[in-house]
Amino acid sequence: MTEARLRESRVAGTVRVVGSGLLGASVGLGLAARGVDVVVTDASRTAARLAVEYGAGRPPAPDDAPGLIVVAVPPDAIAEVVAAELEAFPEATVTDVASVKSAPLAELEASAADLSRYVGSHPLAGRERGGPISARADLFLGRPWVVCTRPGLARGRVSLIEQLALDLGAIPVEMDAVTHDESVALVSHTPQLVSTLMARRLGAAADAALGLAGGGVRDVTRVASSDPALWVQILAANASVVAPILRAYRDDLGDVIDALERIDESGSRRALAETLAGGNAGVARLPGKHGQDKRFASVVVLIDDTPGQLGRLFTELGELGINIEDMRMEHSPGAQIGIVELAVLPEALTRTVDDLAERGWRIAG
């Protein structure tokens, strides 16, 4: 029995997951690992069967009486499916995991659905690839999970969704639907478009240029491989909030272009410097280990481009008792070495460098 199964789940009874894509199957895997009775259903029989075979739950049974229903379907189907689940299971609390909250709520409010049992939510977690085959039980670990409150919603319903988030290792964050949509427009939806627009420039690039690609372009374009059909739905549902952010971005870009086109004129270099400094300031505000958090120190390790080296590095870090707060890896095609940048607590910096060097690792800088 795994350690996860030894921990008692906060969510009791049967949980029904509607939609067996990345998020739905990951919810199922995480709850099933805690011993929760999870029912998985999907409009696609193949997807549902695959999720069941991966261990995300069991097929539905005629006598199922779920206390909690998690709707994980495409954004444009959320309201319809939530309404159907509320009607089919009149005792259940229903949540959804869509990345836009105001539009589905407005559509539900215009229907005859019993919204006293509906609590919108959104785990800010994902991967570039979707489907049950990409699902992970630890997908939500340490990630924010927004639980949308609104006037008249019973505290017990909200608490149930927070317990779901906690069971899956996420951090519940209460927020109303409008504030949620404004927030994700800035930190998720606009970055998706910026990443996509940069990646489009690579389509006609020469092979020689692509061969030089390093961490910078890979970091910027990482999410550009996301599903276009899904993102059209997300962006359409939050268009009125995303558009003003993009207009401000366009203005900033215009200022940079003007400075570059007049680089020898007085003030142009200063304008570029101020823009770059503004970027530094923005990144520094990101919370946790993925921003430029001054709580962490950087160790750059050079590793040979041979099988097993990365695994050996992490094995030895574990043996040394060194906790890695974050990691970034860079490797150019054809290069004989790779670069692994490790983030550690400042007080562990000297020990990490000395211990790794003693074991034969090459430390840069």
Query: Could you write out the DSSP letters of every residue in 142-207?
Result: T-EEEEE--TT--HHHHHHHHHHHHHTT-EEEEE-HHHHHHHHIIIIIHHHHHHHHHHHTTTT--H
Instruction: Specify whether 145 is located in the same domain as 199.
Output: no
- Say if 191 falls within a structural domain: yes
Q: Is the pLDDT of residue 332 over 80?
A: no
Q: What is the pTM of this model?
A: 0.78
CA–CA separation, 162 vs 32, rounded Å? 17
Instruction: Specify whether 96 is located in the same domain as 231.
Output: no
10 Å CB burial of residue 58 (0-12, 13-18, 19+) is: middle
pLDDT of residue 231: 92
Q: Is the pLDDT of residue 304 over 90?
A: no
CATH number of the domain bearing residue 306: 3.30.70.260
CATH number of the domain bearing residue 102: 3.40.50.720
Q: Is the pLDDT of residue 112 over 90?
A: no
Instruction: Specify whether 42 is located in the same domain as 139.
Output: yes
Instruction: Specify whether 236 is located in the same domain as 207.
Output: yes
pLDDT of residue 68: 97
Instruction: Specify whether 94 is located in the same domain as 237.
Output: no
Note every long-range contact of 258-267, with CB atoms under 8 Å and residues 24 or more positions apart, other chains counting.
none
Q: Is the pLDDT of residue 65 over 90?
A: yes
Last residue of a domain, one of 177, 203, 218: 177
Number of domains in the chain: 3
Mean predicted confidence (pLDDT) in 91-105: 96
Torsion of CA 283, 284, 290, 294, to 10 degrees: 150
pLDDT of residue 71: 98
**pLDDT category, 7, cuts 50, 70, 90?**
low
pLDDT of residue 338: 78
Last residue of a domain, one of 140, 157, 177: 177
**pLDDT category, 133, cuts 50, 70, 90?**
confident
- Among 24, 29, 26, 55, which Cα is nearest to 41's? 24
Last residue of a domain, one of 225, 259, 284: 284
- HEC sequence for 241-307: HHHHHHHHHHHHHHHHHHHHHCCCCCCHHHHHHHHHHHHHHHHHCCCCCCCCCCCCEEEEEEEECCC
Evaluate whether 212 touches 331 at the Cβ level (below 8 Å).
no
- Say if 290 falls within a structural domain: no
Give the lowest-confidence range in 36-40, 185-189, 286-290, 294-298: 286-290
pLDDT of residue 365: 62
**pLDDT category, 215, cuts 50, 70, 90?**
confident
- Among 122, 123, 137, which Cα is nearest to 34's? 137
pLDDT of residue 288: 56
Q: Which domain holds residue 71?
A: 6-177
Instruction: Specify whether 248 is located in the same domain as 303.
Output: no
Q: Is the pLDDT of residue 364 over 60?
A: yes
Within 10 Å of residue 25's Cβ, how many Cβ atoms? 33
CA–CA separation, 113 vs 107, rounded Å? 10
Residue 18 host element (H or E): strand 14-18
126: Cβ contacts below 8 Å, ≥ 6 apart: 22, 23, 139
Measured in Å, how far apart are the chain's first and last C-alpha atoms? 45
Mean predicted confidence (pLDDT) in 262-278: 95
- Say if 26 falls within a structural domain: yes
Mean predicted confidence (pLDDT) in 13-28: 95
Instruction: Specify whether 272 is located in the same domain as 335.
Output: no
DSSP secondary structure letter of residue 133: G
**pLDDT category, 276, cuts 50, 70, 90?**
very high
- Say if 289 falls within a structural domain: no
Q: Is the pLDDT of residue 192 over 70?
A: yes
CA–CA separation, 15 vs 242, rounded Å? 34
pLDDT of residue 309: 86
Q: Is the pLDDT of residue 18 over 90?
A: yes
